[in-house]
Structure 1
Amino acid sequence: MTGQAAAEVAQVAMPMDDPRPGRRIRLLNSGVSARVAWVLRALSVAGPVAAWWALSAGGLVDPAFLPSPAAVWTAGTEMALSGELWSDLTASLGRIGLGFVLAVLISVPLGFTMGALPWAQALLEPMVGLLRYLPASAFIPLLIIWLGIGEASKVALLVLGVVFFNTLMTADVVRQVPRRLLEVSATLGAGRVRVASRVVFPYALPGMIDAMRVNAAAAWNFVVVAELIAATSGLGYRITRAQRFLQTDRIFAILVVIGLIGLTIDITLRLLRGRIGRWAA
């Protein structure tokens, strides 16, 4: 290729100069200052709360369906002072913690193997992908038959709701490890086990934590269903009990508690990811 032809190809491949470069830079710049970020976070919470308060204060919705923020605060305070909230919170956290930990202990090694070994992916991914689409709640009758109505069936339901999604997400993260890293490691004489433990796992670990963040929220979604199985305590049990007596203020109070706990878990996992995965973008 002559120099003139190469120049013509380069000219065609390069985009035309933007006559308004300043505006283009502003559109592409997604960063905001720390102060603006905190203001936006505050608005994301204050906006819905203000709309909630306006609807309830204006009488646009029957309080039986949408209690006011003050009524929800009063109901939450009453449950906390009576001890109901703390006992239910402890029961739900115990179930979610045990179920989620078991799901992670199963899914991370399985997903890592599927992502690192092509034969494992071909062998396991079709079945795991199929099981992922089966609703965990559909297993409730079988879990009661197999495990009874005690804690084991509730924890097992949480495991089923999380393990398959986390397995496939972990496998996807492992497969995203750049091939050049593997080639360089092999060139330097590292064996398969060493490459897996010293290159693949550290590189994929931040992504694994992100997958856990997503699926931790899924575990909370299943706790209400799990606590329908002959439960006598737990936040899900308290919600269903309040529903029987149309105590919507208590239901809202429990939902606020679940949201705050979920946010705390998410922030904790984000901080953990930032601490142990500084090399990840």
Structure 2
Amino acid sequence: MDGLLIDSEDKYTICTNEVLREYGRPGVPWNIKAQLQGRPAPQAGGIFWEWAKLPLSREEFYTKVQALQKTHFPTCKPLAGVPELLRILGKQTDVKIALATSSQTMNFKLKTGHLEELFAVFADENRVLGDDERIGKGRGKPAPDIYLVALETINARLRKEGGKEITPAECLVFEDSVPGVESGRRAGMQVVWCPHPGLLNEYKGREAEVLAGLTGEHKEVQEKNEEIGVVAADGSERKKGAPGELNDGWAKFLPSLEDFPYQDYGINIRKEDGRL
């Protein structure tokens, strides 16, 4: 969600930098912000705090930041192409959609309370937030759990309705963060990477590595899904628990979600649903 559907990543930067300036510190550089994106708050906080070295306690810092977030988060706006993408996907009867975000419930409400129409495409049962009890402690992105839980919310409904369950290989993950791409790849799902220009510049020359989920983010967590076989792009089973391979075509880069290539993913939209 953050930085992919709405401009909340920019709001995080505004709030954090305002407090940093108060103590004469520079704004968060992209080499640090790149490590924070997509991660659960505890892990991101640890990385940030090690870099910031502020002369106050974490509690004091977060109190200041949270006060600013209460002002800025309710002004979040959809990013380019997002309203049309969600509108079209929401109309496809053969497409099932879920939201997987590291944002915890309180922040989620602040960011989306004024965007209820936009997020209506995600049924409550298909919203997996950062503080969801089904995600084990320390199992946020880049671990695959959040996307596997999101898929299970869809399959649970399909089982009730007597429908055919969806496999990870049939899923498409939309991500802006590098840990998020790896999370999707480690779940055995296809991925669309649509990063902020600043993040893309930070990984210039390493795009193929990011798309394969091989940036090494997973080394920070011990995978509990080692027993899960992951299907490769060619239909074969890769090494259990492994991410992808360079240039395997299982993940793609898009500079924006505008004019999304639906047909590339077997989504045949009706003329009346598409842009005229």
Q: TM-score, normalised by structure 1?
A: 0.23
Tell which has more relative contact order, 1 or 2 (C-alpha 8 A, sep 6+): 1
More helix by share: 1
Q: TM-score, normalised by structure 2?
A: 0.23
